Amino acid sequence: MISTGSTLLDLAISGSRVRGGGLPSGILVEVYGPSGAGKTVLLSEIAGTIKRKKGDVMFHDPEGRLNNQFAKIFDLDIETIDYAKTNTIPEVFSKIRSWDPKGPINGIMADSLAALSTNMEMSNEEGDKMGMRRAKEFSEELRKTARIIAQSNMLMVCSNQLRVNVGVTYGPKYTTPGGEALGYYASLRLQIKPILQDSKIKRTEKVNGKDVTRIIGITSEITVTKSSVDKPYRIAPLTILFDYGIDDIRENLKFVKKYTGATTYALDGSKLFTSLEKSIEHIEEEGQEEELREEVIDLWEEIEQKFESDRKKKKR
Instruction: Give the pLDDT confidence of 162-187 residue by residue, as tens digits.
Output: 766 655 555 556 677 667 888 899 99
Judged against a pLDDT cut of 80, whether residue 126 lies above it is answered with no
Q: Which of 221, 246, 271 is where one domain is finished?
A: 246
Span 36-84, pLDDT tens digits: 899 999 999 999 999 999 999 999 999 888 888 999 999 999 988 999 9
Span 253-307, pLDDT tens digits: 999 999 998 889 988 878 888 999 999 999 999 999 999 999 999 999 999 999 9
The CATH number of residue 161's host domain is 3.40.50.300
Question: Residue 64 half-sphere exposure, CB side, CA atoms within 13 Å?
Answer: 2
Residue 158 located in a structural domain: yes
Predicted pLDDT at 133? 82
Residue 114 located in a structural domain: yes
Same domain for 66 and 136, yes or no, is yes
Q: Which of 202, 230, 246 is where one domain is finished?
A: 246
Same domain for 60 and 135, yes or no, is yes
In the chain, how many domains are there? 2
Residue 315 located in a structural domain: no
Predicted pLDDT at 161? 86
Same domain for 238 and 279, yes or no, is no
Would you call the peptide bond into 309 cis, given omega within 30 degrees of 0 as the criterion?
A: no
- Among 39-48, 111-120, 144-153, which range has the highest average pLDDT? 39-48
CA distances, 33 to each of 9, 38, 41, 220, 240 (Å): 16, 9, 13, 10, 15
Same domain for 141 and 282, yes or no, is no
Same domain for 294 and 163, yes or no, is no
Residue 2 located in a structural domain: no
Q: Which of 203, 225, 246 is where one domain is finished?
A: 246
Predicted pLDDT at 171? 55
Q: 2: Cβ–Cβ under 8 A, 6 or more apart, which residues? A: 22, 23, 24, 25, 46, 49, 50, 53, 105, 107, 155
Picking from 154, 199, 146, 191, the residue whose alpha carbon sits closest to that of residue 56 is 154
Predicted pLDDT at 268? 82
Q: Are 41 and 19 a contacting pair, CB within 8 Å?
A: no
Q: How confident is the model at residue 107 (pLDDT cuts 50, 70, 90)?
A: very high
Give the Cα separation of 37 and 283 in Å (integer).
Answer: 27
Residue 205 located in a structural domain: yes
Query: Sign (positive/negative) of CA torsion 140, 141, 145, 146?
Result: negative
Mapped onto helix, strand or coil, the DSSP state of residue 206 is strand
Beta bridge partners of 109: 59, 157
Same domain for 193 and 255, yes or no, is no
Same domain for 204 and 298, yes or no, is no
Mapped onto helix, strand or coil, the DSSP state of residue 145 is helix
CA terminus-to-terminus distance, the chain: 33
Give the Cα separation of 116 and 104 in Å (integer).
Answer: 29
Same domain for 110 and 222, yes or no, is yes
Residue 314 located in a structural domain: no
Residue 316 located in a structural domain: no
Predicted pLDDT at 71? 93
Same domain for 242 and 252, yes or no, is no
Residue 312 located in a structural domain: no
Picking from 84, 116, 79, the residue whose alpha carbon sits closest to that of residue 99 is 84
Q: How confident is the model at residue 311 (pLDDT cuts 50, 70, 90)?
A: confident
Residue 282 structural domain = 248-307
CA distances, 110 to each of 22, 59, 215, 226, 257 (Å): 19, 6, 28, 19, 36
Report the amino acid identity of residue 30. Answer: E
Predicted pLDDT at 125? 55
Would you call the peptide bond into 139 cis, given omega within 30 degrees of 0 as the criterion?
A: no
Give the Cα separation of 200 and 135 in Å (integer).
Answer: 35
Taking residues 79-93, report their average pLDDT: 92
Same domain for 46 and 185, yes or no, is yes
Span 229-255, pLDDT tens digits: 999 999 999 999 999 999 999 999 999
Judged against a pLDDT cut of 90, whether residue 190 lies above it is answered with yes
Predicted pLDDT at 117? 83
Same domain for 207 and 302, yes or no, is no
CA torsion angle for 218, 297, 289, 219 (degrees, to 10)?
0
Same domain for 127 and 264, yes or no, is no
CA distances, 4 to each of 20, 21, 61, 72, 257 (Å): 11, 10, 19, 16, 22
- The pTM assigned to this predicted structure is 0.92
